Amino acid sequence: MLNRDDFNAKLEATIGKYPELAARRQAGDPALTQHLDAVFTAFAMLSANQELALAEPHAKTRPATVLADAALRGIIAKATPAVVMVRVRNESPSSYSIAEGRTILDTAGRPYRAAYAVTVPGDSEQVVKFVQSRAEVVIHNIVTPAEFYATGLPTPDDDSELSAIRVFHTNGNEMVYKQDYVGVEPGELAYHVEVNAEKTVFVRFGDGESVGYMVQAGDAFRIEADYCAGEVSLDVQEPFEFEYTATPRDVFIALELESVDYKGAPAQSIDALRELCKYPAIYDDDAVFLGEFDYLLNKHFPSADFLSVWNEAIEEKHRGYDLVNTNSLFVACVDSGGSEITVGSEGGEVPLIGFDSPTREAIIVDGNSVWEHGGARSITGHSEGKRTVKISFPDASGVIARSNFYFGLATDDTNIGDRPFDPNVGAMALFTQRHGGASSQTGVMSEWYSDGLMSPRVNINPADDLSYDDDYFIDLDLDADQAVFYVLRDGSELWRLTLDLPSSKDWHLIIYNHDAYNNFEYLRIQFDLTASTFDLKPGYDAWDDTYVDEPPRILSEGEWTPFQRAIADKIKHADDTLRTRFYTPKLEPIPVEVVAQIPSSYVPADVEQAIRELLIQNYGKTSAFAQSGGIIKTRETIDQLVDGIPALSAQSADVSVKISAPEGSGSPEVWRFVSESSIDVSLTVASGRRSGW
């Protein structure tokens, strides 16, 4: 590269040919020197520009080059909208509804859209999620058919940046975004998004023969583009207002900021794009190129509480060779707040069927829901082997005396009257026991309907009144042929009900309570897995509440949740030759024993609570440790306890930690974490006496 000194040196070598100019230059005539300086500066700048042009393909110093390179690599600068929680206060006596997508504005005029519909009762308040974005809708009409047709999105007339795109076909079906047309079949309603060096974003369709859908004359595509301001800054309790007035009652609604869940992120800068283009592993979603599916899925599914990915080599290391594992990728996952099936226990007394929960939430048993409706629960299984079920009343003796319990059996083709049996809806009454006060009534058998399944088989022998002072149990024996309900008092049989089990059908055992006192919170069902093998797992020993483990298993595709289907789609997008197989994650609490001595100035109960909270925060189920599958270390844990709890950092304090490695912790589907029940804290209080004078 030439600079001004180079040009001055050339001038010195040749100016002697022109005596008059040499004299003027020697005298410093500004009319000459200024002209020469301007020319030399222009030449130096041109030389530098030419030098940069030669290195530009490698250095990429010009913004236009960076944008062109990013466009070539399919990198689109995309912003992420902020997410805020807004307190909606209804100051009118009537309820007020906010529709999904209703727009409010902050003090800077930025729009926020309601994430969901909500109704706020009169004279009350509610916190609602809003997303900082606005939508622009474009209806694009096709005049003539075209292969790989592309249409550009409008450039925003403000400082907002693109954050999301949705495309709808003429028939109303939403089209699927497929980057680089990976895994797109001919004729499939899919599209690709690309950008040019001028930062104009295009939606491109297929050709209809080799990939995707070819646009036809008369097609009208609805394109919804979301734009946001990127990162936003809001003040505490900042007020909001509706973008427009929908009803006169809007004046009774006060809106103010409750919290900021996510502050948003701007689109990548030129400097960031320049660096992104250097490293394909960052921007390329092709996991075959990455050689790392784990990174790919964690990048796209950061909300997962647990996500583990492994290949067939690791699978065969733990479970041996199996032909069906060929060309498979294995995943065990649980989304945040998701309903994915898991096995194992967080420790402690966790009932298999949640009758002792006042909320009556359904619990998953071996992939089948234990349904709750009214007071009904059902157990689903298939007749293999023998199992014993014990229904006990640990907290309320005599509850059975003031309850109406129904026991029944049904299959998927069983009818109740003129309606098919549905475990979601209710249970069939086969046997009713009804008692009140000191009197008793004979058991009542109701009608049994089936499609050739069997006739009712009932043996009811009411033998005694039930007293509120006695403890009663209901036992259920299951074997390959029959289910037998026993009602026992102090080990003596009072009633028995025998039901034949179908040998070739899945069945539902129903326990139904119709009781004004709503005593289900006292009822617990436990499974004894000590006899032989049976489909209903995991469970508890019928007599000592010992938890019996269930091994992880492969989920059928029908058991996949939407979260798991999204993961399978992402894997197929990266490599459509792989099969995705989902394992049930196994919950495996890590036993942690903390023994500490604390000064007498601290309350032991408070210190124990602080220890538990710190361990759960650092190693609990939703911690980064549990999500990443880390290894808990004794020395590191002690340092955390000493640094985080003043009572353990005092001069007279001492602490030791023992961490036990659970069985099978090396398996990739194991979700290891510290649970409340896996923590054992033992504290002693130091006397505080001084040894010196």
Amino acid at 324: V
437 or 283, which is more confident? 283
- Show contacts of 636-639: CB within 8 Å, 24+ apart: 637/592
pLDDT digits (tens, 9 = 90+) for 617-632: 999 988 888 877 777 8
| Number of C-beta neighbours around residue 125 at 10 A | 16
Residue 508's pLDDT is 55
| Alpha-carbon gap, residue 582 to 105, rounded angstroms | 44
pLDDT digits (tens, 9 = 90+) for 282-294: 776 655 554 578 8
Among candidate residues 207, 223, 264, the one with its CA nearest the CA of residue 83: 264
Q: What is the mean pLDDT of residues 215-223?
A: 93
Residue 553's pLDDT is 87
Q: How confident is the model at residue 515 (pLDDT cuts 50, 70, 90)?
A: very low
Coil vs helix vs strand at 43: helix
| Residue 474, φ and ψ in degrees, nearest 5 | -115, 115
Q: What is the mean pLDDT of residues 234-248?
A: 91
Please check whether residue 84 is in contact with residue 112, taking contact to mean a CB–CB distance below 8 angstroms.
Answer: yes
Q: Percent of the chain having pLDDT more than 90?
A: 30
Q: How confident is the model at residue 524 (pLDDT cuts 50, 70, 90)?
A: very low
Of 210-214, 346-350, 393-397, 403-407, which gets the smallest average pLDDT?
393-397
Q: Both tokens of residue 663? A: 């069985």
pLDDT digits (tens, 9 = 90+) for 85-102: 999 999 999 999 999 999
Helix intervals (H) in 60-135: 63-72
| Number of C-beta neighbours around residue 4 at 10 A | 16
537 or 485, which is more confident? 485
Of 1-10, 108-117, 126-135, which gets the smallest average pLDDT?
1-10
Residue 219's pLDDT is 93
Residue 371's pLDDT is 30
Supply the DSSP symbol for 677.
G
Q: Percent of the chain having pLDDT more than 70?
A: 67
List of E strands, 219-314: 220-228, 239-242, 253-262, 304-311
- Buried-exposed string 655-693: b where 16+ CB fall within 10 A, e elsewhere: bebebeeeebeebbbbbbbbbeebbebebeebeeeeeee
With tokens 């014993």, the residue in question is 388
| Alpha-carbon gap, residue 570 to 287, rounded angstroms | 10
Residue 251's pLDDT is 92
| Alpha-carbon gap, residue 652 to 687, rounded angstroms | 9
Domain 283-343+553-583 has CATH 3.30.70: no
Residue 225's pLDDT is 94
Query: Would you say residue 693 has pLDDT above 70?
Result: no
| Alpha-carbon gap, residue 91 to 237, rounded angstroms | 17
Of 257-266, 386-395, 584-593, which gets the smallest average pLDDT?
386-395
Residue 453's pLDDT is 28
Supply the DSSP symbol for 333.
E
- Buried-exposed string 48-62: b where 16+ CB fall within 10 A, e elsewhere: eeeeeeeeeeeebee
Query: Would you say residue 681 has pLDDT above 90?
Result: yes
The size of the chain, in residues, is 693
Residue 424's pLDDT is 38
44's CB contacts (< 8 A; 6+ apart) are 2, 3, 4, 6, 7
297 or 243, which is more confident? 243
pLDDT digits (tens, 9 = 90+) for 140-163: 999 999 999 999 998 888 889 999
Query: Would you say residue 390 has pLDDT above 60?
Result: no
Q: How confident is the model at residue 23 (pLDDT cuts 50, 70, 90)?
A: confident
Query: Would you say residue 270 has pLDDT above 50?
Result: yes
What is the overall mean pLDDT for the chain? 73
Query: Would you say residue 200 has pLDDT above 80?
Result: yes
Amino acid at 418: D
Give kind and range of the element (H or E) at residue 19.
Answer: helix 19-27
576 or 382, which is more confident? 576
Q: How confident is the model at residue 123 (pLDDT cuts 50, 70, 90)?
A: very high
Among candidate residues 221, 210, 206, the one with its CA nearest the CA of residue 149: 206
Residue 136's pLDDT is 92
Query: Would you say residue 649 has pLDDT above 70?
Result: yes
Q: What is the mean pLDDT of residues 36-44?
A: 88
| Alpha-carbon gap, residue 608 to 676, rounded angstroms | 12
Supply the DSSP symbol for 211.
S
Among 365-379, 449-463, 574-588, the range of highest mean pLDDT: 574-588
Q: How confident is the model at residue 517 (pLDDT cuts 50, 70, 90)?
A: very low
Query: Would you say residue 434 has pLDDT above 50?
Result: no
Q: What is the mean pLDDT of residues 559-575?
A: 88
pLDDT digits (tens, 9 = 90+) for 343-365: 766 654 333 332 222 222 222 23
Please check whether residue 441 is in contact with residue 448, taking contact to mean a CB–CB distance below 8 angstroms.
Answer: no
Among candidate residues 660, 650, 659, the one with its CA nearest the CA of residue 607: 650
Among 22-26, 226-230, 539-543, the range of highest mean pLDDT: 226-230
Which sequence spans correspond to the domains of the chain? 4-59, 78-266, 283-343+553-583, 346-350+386-393+402-414+447-461+470-546, 586-685
542 or 562, which is more confident? 562
| Alpha-carbon gap, residue 307 to 571, rounded angstroms | 14
594 or 383, which is more confident? 594
Q: What is the mean pLDDT of residues 433-439?
A: 27
Residue 391's pLDDT is 40
Query: Would you say residue 426 has pLDDT above 50?
Result: no
pTM listed for this prediction? 0.47
With tokens 């069985």, the residue in question is 663
Please check whether residue 513 is in contact with residue 433, taking contact to mean a CB–CB distance below 8 angstroms.
Answer: no
Q: Please write down the HEC assignment for all residues of 345-409.
A: CCCCCCCCECCCCCCCCCEEECCEEECCECCEEEEEECCCCCEEEEEECCCCCCHHHHCCEEEEE
Residue 411's pLDDT is 57
